[in-house]
């Protein structure tokens, strides 16, 4: 009986800590979102965040998308050949990239690249007391450090998702035409004709949500990091883990909202 009570007490403590962490994260997110819409606005920081999050992420997004599109075309052709359904490759590649793989892969790549970078930067600033210096200079850290990054991610990630969708479809098109014998004009006609506006809207909406999640997790764990090099490393690791899990969870929820309601 005592062993069971100890086990239940340990589970209860972990659940309490989990719920407390979720609460702190929710309060942090609400504070960050309110600072986005209230002046003053640090235009230089916003422009720098747009460059770092958007423009500098293009190479990894493009490479990920083109290889994913090509591999998806090969897999669908191979699977469809078992049922004499090879002709569905253009449609399945298009809907698979636009609805799911495009936004999810971009979100995960941003979590790996941007979230880790943000967490390491802010955590290092905390360790070296630069955040305390900002407060001393009457500059709110949330306004100066967090709001520009979250706003930049919200604006740029949907654009990266759109670019990734196009590149991914092009990857599938290239493999299908060069290796699988598809007619180029027929392939493009089937791709464009099969996609619906809802597919594109859902892809861009997912990108916006994933961008906010990725930037928010980097900022949250950076602002709440421990002291020293170990604290910076732990903050970086935790931020990427949380961002990746939340991106996948948000993808499930958004897919249900767009395509089952």
Q: Please report which confidence band the pLDDT of residue 156 belongs to, taking 50, 70 and 90 as the band edges.
A: very high
Confidence check: pLDDT of 70 > 70: yes
Single pTM value for the model: 0.88
Q: What angle do CA 23, 27, 31 make, to 5 degrees?
A: 170
Confidence check: pLDDT of 4 > 80: no
The DSSP-derived string for 54-73 is TGGGHHHHHHHHHHHHHHHH
In this predicted model, what pLDDT tens digit does every residue of 82-101 receive, in sequence order?
Answer: 777 777 888 888 898 998 88
In this predicted model, what pLDDT tens digit does every residue of 243-258 receive, in sequence order?
Answer: 999 999 999 999 988 8
Q: Name the least confident of 13-27, 163-177, 200-214.
A: 13-27
Q: Please report which confidence band the pLDDT of residue 155 belongs to, taking 50, 70 and 90 as the band edges.
A: very high
Task: Name the more confident of 150 and 132.
Answer: 150
pLDDT at 1: 67
pLDDT at 29: 82
Longest dimension (CA), the chain: 72
pLDDT at 217: 92
Q: In the predicted model, what is the mean pLDDT of residues 225-248?
A: 87
User: Where are the alpha helices (H) located in 38-146, listed in sequence order?
Assistant: 43-53, 58-80, 89-96, 102-110, 116-127, 130-136, 141
pLDDT at 261: 62
Q: Which helix (H) or strand (E) holds 176?
A: helix 147-179
pLDDT at 42: 85
First to last CA, the chain: 47
Average pLDDT of the chain is 86
Q: Please report which confidence band the pLDDT of residue 15 belongs to, taking 50, 70 and 90 as the band edges.
A: confident
Q: In the predicted model, what is the mean pLDDT of residues 40-44?
A: 85
pLDDT at 211: 92
Q: Residue 217 corresponds to which tokens in the numbers above?
A: 């997790």
In this predicted model, what pLDDT tens digit does every residue of 105-140 receive, in sequence order?
Answer: 999 999 888 999 999 989 888 888 888 888 788 778
Which pairs with CB-CB distance under 8 Å and at least 24 residues apart come from 223-230? 223/28, 223/122, 223/126, 223/131, 223/141, 223/145, 223/146, 224/24, 225/119, 225/122, 225/123, 225/126, 225/127, 227/127, 228/127, 229/127
Q: Please report which confidence band the pLDDT of residue 157 belongs to, taking 50, 70 and 90 as the band edges.
A: very high
**Other CB atoms within 10 Å distance of the CB of residue 39:** 7
Confidence check: pLDDT of 160 > 90: yes
Q: How many CA atoms are closer than 13 Å to the CA of 230, on its beta-carbon side?
A: 0
Task: Name the more confident of 137 and 151.
Answer: 151
Confidence check: pLDDT of 8 > 80: no
Confidence check: pLDDT of 104 > 90: yes
pLDDT at 163: 93
Q: In the predicted model, what is the mean pLDDT of residues 182-194?
A: 85
């Amino acid at each position: 009986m005592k062993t069971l009570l100890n086990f239940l007490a340990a589970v209860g403590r972990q659940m309490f800590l989990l719920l407390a962490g979720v609460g702190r994260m929710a309060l942090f997110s609400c504070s960050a979102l309110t600072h986005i819409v209230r002046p003053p606005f640090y235009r230089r920081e916003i422009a720098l965040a747009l460059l770092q999050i958007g423009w500098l992420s293009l190479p990894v997004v493009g490479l990920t998308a083109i290889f994913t599109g090509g591999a998806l075309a090969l897999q669908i052709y191979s699977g469809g050949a078992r049922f004499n359904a090879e002709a569905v490759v253009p449609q399945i590649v298009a809907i698979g990239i636009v609805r799911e793989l495009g936004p999810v892969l971009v979100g995960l790549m941003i979590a790996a690249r941007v979230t880790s970078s943000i967490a390491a930067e802010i955590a290092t600033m905390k360790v070296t007391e630069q955040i305390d210096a900002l407060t001393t200079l009457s500059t709110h850290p949330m306004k100066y450090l967090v709001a520009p990054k979250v706003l930049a991610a919200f604006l740029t990630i949907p654009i990266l998702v759109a670019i990734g969708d196009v590149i991914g479809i092009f990857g599938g098109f290239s493999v299908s035409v060069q290796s699988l014998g598809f007619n180029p004009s027929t392939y493009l006609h089937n791709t464009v004709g099969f996609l619906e506006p809802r597919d594109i809207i859902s892809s861009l909406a997912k990108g916006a949500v994933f961008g906010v999640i990725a930037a928010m997790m980097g900022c949250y764990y950076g602002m709440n990091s421990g002291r020293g090099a170990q604290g910076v490393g732990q903050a970086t690791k935790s931020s990427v883990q949380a961002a990746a899990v939340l991106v996948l969870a948000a993808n499930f929820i958004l897919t249900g909202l767009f395509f089952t309601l």
